[in-house]
Structures are given as structure tokens and as C-alpha cells.
Chains A and B, each alone.
Chain A
Amino acid sequence: MSRNSRRRALSKAVVTLCGMAVVLALIPLILVFVYVLKQGVSSLNWDFFTKMPKPVGETGGGMANALVGTLILIGLASIFAVPVGLTAGIYLSEYGKSRLASAVRFTADVLNGVPSIVIGIFAYGLAVLPVHRFSALAGGLALGFMMVPIITRTTEELLNLVPSNLREGALALGATRARAAFGVMVPAALPGIMTGILVSLARIAGETAPLLFTSFNNRFFTARLDQPISSLTVQVYTYAISPYDDWHRQAWAGALVLVTLVFLFSVLARMVTRRLERMHRA
């Protein structure tokens, strides 16, 4: 075989291998989605979204409380994490060379890798033990801890993408460092920062472990933040390990809603990114 044809054959083999790896990576995703869809769709109906869970033994009912609970938990987590993550990201981008900044950056990366169950235990010790009560606040806190490092790092990275001559332009007009950051740099990176927040939401929406001993679960509807609150993930977990067929069906429906929620966040994040890219090209 000549060198040229050998080179071509090798190239073809490598490309084929890459293609196979892509397919392999996609198979679990597609399988999960198809299976959850197949199992969940039949149990998904209007009652699922509007009705409360029925007592054991009665069929029917829904997860209205868990749905609202999940939204409340995500909302709380965002309220905790967005301001902290955003300002930390701005700090890293603006003062990224200091020793404190590298410490913060390292800590954020480590925090990002901490198992979610450990985060749950931490929030339990922080917000449940002292008051002797599971609460939505504790759950939101746990999820917030998971969001902070993601938002911090994406905010930093996106601010670093904004040309620094915008900062110089603002400074030259008599802006202070903070004013330039919040008035010019952050708005310029805002669509990207929104993407980061959406990605972090997609990441935490499906978390169960941090909620198990923070927000716990609640068979009843509540919007009180100092009470245990139901969430889709914990509800799915509870129903899935139960011995009742009807609960299994509902768990599948819950899983489908969860996957759809995460999917929606991801699609939204992509759309925002696209818009950002278009804006930058223009």
C-alpha cells in the first residue's frame, strides 16, 4: 500500500471510530427518553397536574403538590444562588489574578464535583438540625449550593469573552471599576449569563439526593417555606420503591415530566446561546 492510500485509510478509520463513539454516547440518552416516554405517556393526564395524591389503595390522583413544590424549590435555589454566583463570577473575571480569586475558582470547581448527597447532608446540618424541621428553605438552600459554582464559572467565562476594550472605554469615561463591570460588561454578556443560569437550573431540577433530608416530602399541598415540601424527584423516588402498581405508573409520569422540564431548560439555554452568537457576529 502506498503511503497516501494508507493515510487515507487511517483517516477514514478514525472518522468512523469517532462516528461510532457518537452513536454509543447517544444510545443511552435515546433509550432513556423513549422508555420514559413509553411508560409515562399512558399515565400522564390532566389529573396528574391538577390532583393531589390519593391515599394508599385508591387509584388515580396526581402530583400537583410535587409540581408546585419543585417550582418553589427551583425558585428558592435561584434566589439564593443567582446573586451569589453572579457576583462571584464578576469578581473572578474582574479581579481574576489575585490569590483570593484563584482560591475561589478552585473552590467553585471542587464544589461542583461534590456528590449531591453530601451537599444534602451539609444543608441538613445547616438548616434542618438547628430548627428540628425539614423545610422548603433547606431544600432550596441545598439546590442553591449546587447552582452557585455553575453560575460562577459560566459568568466568569462569558465575561472573559467580552472584549476588554469595552471596559477600558467605560473607565476612560470616568466609570469606576464596579460601574464598568455592572453597567457595561455584564449587560454585554447577559444572554450568555442567562444561558449559564438555565444550564444550572437544568442540572438541579432533576436532583433527588440533596432534597431527601432537607425538603423531605409532603403528601399535602403546601406553599409554606418553613414546612416540608413535596418535589417531583422525591415523589418519583417514593412511588418507584413502593409496592403499588398505580404508584409505579405515576412515578413514570413524574419521570417524564422531569425529563421534559430538564429538556426545556436545555433547549431554552441553546436558543439563548444561538441569539448571543448571532449578535456577536453582527
Chain B
Amino acid sequence: MSEETMTDAPPAAPLTAGSPKIPEATPSPAPATIFPSGSVIRMETRGLNFYYGAAQALYGVSLQVPEKSVTAFIGPSGCGKSTYLRCLNRMNDIIPDTRVEGDVLLDGNDIYGSGTDIVALRRRVGMVFQKSNPFPKSIFENVAYGLKINSLCRRSELPERVEKALRSAAIWDEVKDRLQGSALGLSGGQQQRLCIARALAIEPEVVLMDEPASALDPIATQKIEELIYDLKREYTIVIVTHNMQQAARVSEYTAFFMLGRLVEHDRTEKIFTNPGQKITEDYITGRFG
């Protein structure tokens, strides 16, 4: 199935007789069985509800993200996977009239607690967006931005840190001779890798990626996927994707969302070969969505 048809999937149809049924209660994932013993849980949500005004977008989502792994979120458009992702670094805070219930834990601490420093949180939980969003500044300045505003290093160390981040994002060789050139002069794929470099520069613990390759051609997509594969050695990665092959290729764990509920969360291999829910199987095999 081409990426095009995947990304243009219509929003899930309302549940009526004949359409696939999703379980009312979110099944509680069994960490003991899906994560190898000794896994450290980096992020976790417990009974997370989210509301845009009066409309509820997430229903009691409980999920765990183990460190140094890739967790993929799949599901039809409008299923809440991006909303859920944006709860993990409180990016939804800037949307007016939204409300969160339940706990979101980073290393066991509730990030929605009153003592949370939101700036410190976002330094630890970085984000890459669906549409690449380089600042209209030079390539160097883009990567240095996070370091500068957080005063993470001395001015003299900037070039070194910028190079390291660009190397981590596998774009150093393409831009090393034009660091002072505008970031807007890069191709779409390069811009997205620059944004990844920018997120990595401040050395977050968790990197959230919201459909990072959905606007890219297959070759650029492949580069991003290889990059994600490399990055999980050092970072905990959570990726939202419309592309199921992508989820299968890059992730160890996959969570399937539908209509604001977490339907199934398991090892990726299990989800794609022997899903526990009929509806997951229907979605993966393209019977709807």
C-alpha cells in the first residue's frame, strides 16, 4: 500500500451496527509479558482522558514506554494518537480550552503536577513535528537555538555540539559546508533531519515524533527510518505514524489507537502477526481505515 493512501485515510466512521466494535474498556497492557525483564519504564500514562472543550479525545489511556526503544502509535486519522503524543511533553497546553485528566509520568513523576517546570520537561522530552519547521535562520543557528536558550553549553562549545547533533541526525555531510546558509534552502527531507538534529542537540531523554516522514518521498523516508533505528541506542523514541510498514520496520512496540481509546499495545511483531483484537487485525490488514 502506498504512503499516499495511508496518509489520506478518512477519519474513523462512527460506530454503528456492522462496523468494527472496539472494546469499551481499554485493556490494561501487561508490561511483565511484553517488555523484557529488567526494562526501565521511562514514560507512563494512567487513565489519561483528554478533552478539546467539551469533546473528549482520549478515553482512559494507560500505556508504558520503556527506555531506549521505539514505540509506534498507529490508528486511523482522528483516533487520538497525535493528541496522546502531545500530552507527553504538554504540547497541548498551548491549545486553548483543553483539559487533561489522569497521570502522565516521566521517571515516575507526574508531569502535569503543580511543581512541573514545563521548560525543563520539554528539554527532557523533545519533539519532531509532522511538517518540518526549521526557523528562518541559518542551519547552524537552528541547531544552536535550543542550546542557547537553555544555556546548555558555553559559546565556545557551540560548534562542537552543533556538529555532534548534525552527525547524530545523519545530515552533517550534506550541510557541513553551508552551516551559515539558510535552513529554508534545504530539501524537505533535509529540513526534517535538521529538525531532528535540532531536537537532539539539547540531548533529550525521550524524542516524540509526530509522523516525521509523512510529507517526504520514499528515499528521504528511508533515511529518517534508518536514523530512528540508530537513535534508539541512546534515546527513547515514540513515533506516530500512518504508515504501518513503517511502524513494523522501526519499532519494537506498537500501540493501536481507535476513537480515542488504546485498543492494543504489544510487541510490534505480535501486533503485526498475531494481534489480540479482531479490530486490530482488521485495521492492519486494511479492511477499514
Contact = CB atoms under 8 A, between A and B. Distances in A.
Interface of A: 97, 163, 165-177, 179, 183-184, 187-188, 279, 282
A274 to B, nearest CB: 17
Which 8 pairs from chain A and chain B are nearest by CB?
A173-B146, A172-B127, A174-B123, A165-B133, A169-B133, A174-B122, A174-B119, A188-B136
B89 A168 contact: no
A174 B131 contact: no
Contacts of B136: 166, 187-188, 279
A171 B146 contact: no
Contacts of B122: 171-174
A97 B133 CA distance: 24
A173 B199 contact: yes
B137 interface: yes
> Which of A171, A177, A179, A187 lies at the interface centre, i.e. has the most chain B CB atoms within 10 A of its CB?
A171
Nearest to A166: B133
Interface size range on B against A = 20 to 34
Given A173-B198, A173-B199, A173-B202, A165 B120 contact: no
Interface string B132-146: 011111000000011
Contacts, number: 70
> Which of B122, B129, B137, B150 lies at the interface centre, i.e. has the most chain A CB atoms within 10 A of its CB?
B122
B135 A184 contact: yes
Interface of A is mostly: helix
Contacts of B202: 173-174
A54 to B, nearest CB: 54
B149 interface: yes
Contacts of B150: 173-174
A163 B133 contact: yes
Interface string B88-120: 010100101000000000000000000000011
Nearest to B97: A97
B119 A176 contact: yes
A179 B91 contact: no
Contacts of B195: 169
B179 interface: no
A183 B136 CA distance: 11
B170 to A, nearest CB: 20
A170 B122 CA distance: 10
Contacts of B126: 172-173
A120 to B, nearest CB: 40
Nearest to B86: A168
Given A173-B202, A174-B122, A168 B91 contact: yes
28 contacts: A163-B133, A165-B129, A165-B133, A166-B133, A166-B136, A168-B127, A169-B133, A169-B198, A171-B91, A171-B94, A171-B122, A172-B127, A173-B123, A173-B149, A173-B150, A173-B199, A173-B202, A174-B119, A174-B120, A174-B123, A174-B149, A175-B145, A175-B149, A176-B119, A183-B149, A187-B136, A187-B137, A279-B136
A163 to B, nearest CB: 7
B184 interface: yes
A175 B142 CA distance: 13
Nearest to B135: A184
Contacts of A177: 94
Nearest to A185: B135
Contacts of B185: 282
Given A174-B122, A176-B119, A168 B198 contact: no
Contacts of B89: 172
Interface string B189-206: 000000100110010000
A163 B191 CA distance: 15
A97 B53 CA distance: 15
A265 to B, nearest CB: 25
Given A174-B146, A174-B202, A187-B137, A168 B129 contact: yes
A38 B119 CA distance: 63
Contacts of A172: 89, 91, 122, 126-127, 129, 199
Contacts of B94: 167-168, 171, 177
Interface string B143-164: 0011001100000000000000
Contacts of A167: 94
Contacts of B119: 174-176
A130 to B, nearest CB: 43
Interface string B29-51: 00000000000000000000000
B261 to A, nearest CB: 26
